[in-house]
Structure 1
Amino acid sequence: MAYKDEQLNEEKVFKDPVHRYVHVKDRVIWDLIATPEFQRLRRIKQLGTTNLTFHGAEHSRFNHSLGVYEIVQRIIYNFQDRPHWNNEERLLCLCAALLHDLGHGPFSHSFEKVFKLDHEHFTQQIILGETFVNKILERVSPGFAQKVSDVIAKTYEDKLVVSLISSQIDADRMDYLQRDAYFTGVSYGHFDMERILRVMRPIDDQVVIKSSGMHAVEDYIMSRYQMYWQVYFHPVTRSAEVILSKILHRAKHLFENNYTFKLEPAHFISFFKEDVDLADYLKLDEAIVSYYFQAWQEEDDPVLQDLCERFMNRRLFKYIEFNPNQQMNEWMELYRLFQDAGIDPEYYLVVDSSSDLPYDFYRPGEEEERLPIHLLMPNNELKELSRHSEIVESISGKKRTDHKLYFPADILHRMSDENPVKKRIFELLYGQGERIKNVD
């Protein structure tokens, strides 16, 4: 029997809090899960620093990847014997679903931003490089690894296959919304996935939804919208991300200026030099990063020491609503005042804008959008969802931006009340009554 067709002697299952069970029958899938590259995902949290806001959010990219695989498996089961579906693509879809997040680094998007990295690039490197994952995929057939990489990169010729993994209603989103809602304890991310799976239909280049399932999709869209603003863009999580990024920036700055670390940042050197190879990348996970942050609390550099202590002990920055586009004069004055007070504004006065974070909404018609969701009408005509649903139309195409200014309120409060610099800083930060409630 060819390796691609080989089945396990007995079906394996993972007990899962979201899908109840994740089922594995294919030898290829079981072998991929066992690789060091995939097991590494156990050590990468799905939501980065969100556990400092929602304490239950300790779930990993490993959990999520298994969940996406399981959803795609269920979709394929429903697609069997339907027109436009080619069951020869089954194993390709399952492998791409399982491996789609393989290249995520520690603390994911925050880490990528500091070091100018792209997790999708590393996903492709892992799949195509000298790895255990690559050896397994190439056993399926020569060039199979390239096909898997192409699906994840959204360049594979069969766009229907791509849409299962990456579209406006794909398995990736359907898993992370439910999984993130479960582990954060919120109710926003829940929707009727079973109903959506039942009304999905394959056509030439994408998955469409029977019009009778429109209301289930509306619920999914609204759930996603609420999760972004109530969980993913939560200001406390963003405060932790700000401190995390500033720690990494400070360590990089010190390294470049020949600072002598008490604990040499061996795992970070290639990142600081912006010359990261795959072996270096795979060695760095969140356990390693946390070890350095713990140790750097003892460093002689007061900024690095303080930022690490804040991150490790959840002593985060406070924040106010602050739009730099409209309050540039205030920003420039605050910057000067922080300098006068001996507080480095490069590390302790930070504007963060949620629209800059790498999450997207359902926005048909925008450049580089994912395929919009189409409804399959009773007469077989396709209608784009927001053109048929008033609920979805109300939030489509509307880019929402949220700005916050983060600062260390505890340092400011320790300054003398008679200090005119402190007085002016407090006037600028706390001067508007409606802001005060947002500080704590």
Structure 2
Amino acid sequence: MNEKVFRDPVHNYINVNNQVIYDLINSKEFQRLRRIKQVPTTASTFHGAEHSRFTHCLGVYEIARRVTNIFDRKYQEFWNPDESLLTMTAALLHDVGHGAYSHTFERLFETDHEAYTQEIITSPETEINTILKQVSPDFPDKVASVINHTYPNKQVVQLISSQIDCDRMDYLLRDSYYSGVSYGQFDLTRILRVIQPVGDGIAFSSSGMHAVEDYLVSRYQMYMQVYFHPASRAMEVLLQNLLKRAKSLYHLDQGFFQRTSPNLIPFFENRAELTDYLALDDGVMNTYFQTWMSSEDSILADLASRFINRKIFKSVTFNQEAETELHHLSELVKSVGFDPDYYTGIHVNFDLPYDIYRPEKTKPRTEINMLQKDGTVVELSNLSALVQTLMGTNYGDRRFYFPKEMLILDDLFSSDKETFMSYLSNEHFNPKN
């Protein structure tokens, strides 16, 4: 086929010279990703972050294309060129199962975007499956096995999912660019020069250690400064409570939801199938939320209005010793007329910037290995004092969310405000956050 190009703000040009890849991009399941934001609640804080899963998946494909081109040219003794199309395909499709407001939706309705990704790839009902079968009858299963980490060649798996993979490299650069911050920037060009296949996975030339360090620090900073931003998490809590309220009301007033939000009914009734999942996207959900603003249920209408109009909750950080005191804060919220089931929330975010391989863990991480000049492989933290300081430590915080009104109550509730503020002054809380 003639080469197709997509102009991209992160990678400049994304090059497609394989018909299978181009057909997959044009499939309806992949085009749906245009309507799924990459970081939906982050966009409420960093207003430029309106980019989609579609752009991210194209970016992951492009990095995988560049890597496999390098492997095909330089490392034929360690890399099988027959794996290149599989790697690029898995990179392109790795997030095709993400849904509307994906992670928040998943927690409430117990869906799994990775399971949906595999179903989209392997189901004979999808356009993607039909395209993949043109390569070979077992090609869809191979792609799915890369995504669920069971594919036997760990080189391919690690390029798609590891502590430094094509997915993470693109989303750090892309989310950084669209968020308007510099935290996630790192030297991708240098990393692509030092990455190489080894017998049991991928490694990086020790001459590129500082570029890998830079990548890990950039990842840490993006999580601390962008992904864990308290205002973005406030939107997640608000969305979670809004959907929880709708789910609880459905059985009391099915007609309202049949009129205003019919595509959610299979999820309310716990009978959703793949077609139901694919029928939802961020735009559909936002339309539903706007119709809920006119609901006769005051809580549903208010939460929908707060979410649509970004009237977010305030928060306070707390340590584990304070968990027993959160009940008192909830009771004070209730005392002034807010149902704490829907107007409070606990949001816990922690990230492990880097860790070594620990086989005793349920989901052990694939460590980053550096290839020495003498051919030996050394785990990164044994060479880098900087990485040693990041290794094995979780960073983040616990937040209790509550209505902003609790801080600005008028004289009628002045005693409640004083009591509330006195609790926040407890040594276990940090009200300045």
Fold equivalence (TM over 0.5): yes
Matched, 1:49 2:41: yes
Q: 1:143 aligns with which of 125, 138, 145?
A: 138
Q: Residue 166 of structure 1 contacts residue 370 of structure 1 at CA under 8 Å; is this kept in 2?
A: no
Q: 2:386 aligns with which of 391, 411, 425?
A: 391
Q: Secondary structure of 1:145's match?
A: helix
Q: Residue 191 of structure 1 contacts residue 223 of structure 1 at CA under 8 Å; is this kept in 2?
A: yes
- Between 252-261 and 106-115, the greater mean CA deviation after superposition: 252-261
Q: 1:251 aligns with which of 241, 246, 249?
A: 246
Which letter does structure 2 place at the counterpart of 1:199?
Answer: V
- Residue 245 of structure 1, CA deviation: 0.7
Q: Which runs of at least 4 in structure 1 moved beyond 4 Å after TM superposition? A: 430-436
Q: Residue 416 of structure 1 contacts residue 422 of structure 1 at CA under 8 Å; is this kept in 2?
A: no
Matched, 1:187 2:187: no
Q: Secondary structure of 2:293's match?
A: helix
Structure-2 separation of matches of 1:330 and 1:151:
45
Matched, 1:119 2:113: yes
Matched, 1:96 2:100: no
TM-score, structure 2 normalization: 0.95
Match of 1:275 in 2: 271
- Between 81-90 and 68-77, the greater mean CA deviation after superposition: 81-90
Q: Secondary structure of 2:393's match?
A: coil
Q: Residue 206 of structure 2 contacts residue 372 of structure 2 at CA under 8 Å; is this kept in 1?
A: yes
TM-score, structure 1 normalization: 0.93
Q: Secondary structure of 2:134's match?
A: helix
Q: Secondary structure of 1:155's match?
A: coil
Structure-1 separation of matches of 2:401 and 2:332:
15
Structure 1, unaligned stretches of length 5 or more?
Answer: 1-7
Query: Structure 1 residues 434, 207: CA separation in 2 closer, same or farther (over 3 Å shift)?
Result: same
Structure-1 separation of matches of 2:183 and 2:322:
33
Match of 1:37 in 2: 29
Q: Secondary structure of 2:256's match?
A: coil
Aligned CA RMSD, in angstroms, stands at 1.8
Structure-2 separation of matches of 1:420 and 1:222:
46
Query: Structure 1 residues 243, 30: CA separation in 2 closer, same or farther (over 3 Å shift)?
Result: same
Equivalent residues in 2 for 1:336-375, closer than 5 Å: 336-355=331-350, 361-366=353-358, 367=361, 368-375=363-370
Number of corresponding residues: 426
Query: Structure 1 residues 390, 433: CA separation in 2 closer, same or farther (over 3 Å shift)?
Result: closer
Match of 2:328 in 1: 333
Q: Secondary structure of 1:354's match?
A: strand
Matched, 1:87 2:71: no
Which letter does structure 1 place at the counterpart of 2:216?
Answer: I
Q: Secondary structure of 1:140's match?
A: coil
Structure-2 separation of matches of 1:346 and 1:264:
23
Matched, 1:17 2:12: no
Query: Structure 1 residues 418, 349: CA separation in 2 closer, same or farther (over 3 Å shift)?
Result: closer
Q: Secondary structure of 2:378's match?
A: strand
Percent identity for Structure 1 against Structure 2: 48
Structure-2 separation of matches of 1:414 and 1:261:
33
Which letter does structure 1 place at the counterpart of 2:119?
Answer: Q
Match of 2:65 in 1: 73
- Between 130-139 and 397-406, the greater mean CA deviation after superposition: 397-406
Query: Structure 1 residues 347, 412: CA separation in 2 closer, same or farther (over 3 Å shift)?
Result: farther
List per-residue Cα deviations over 1:166-205 (Å, max 9, x = no partner): 1111100110000000000111111111111111110122
Matched, 1:28 2:24: no
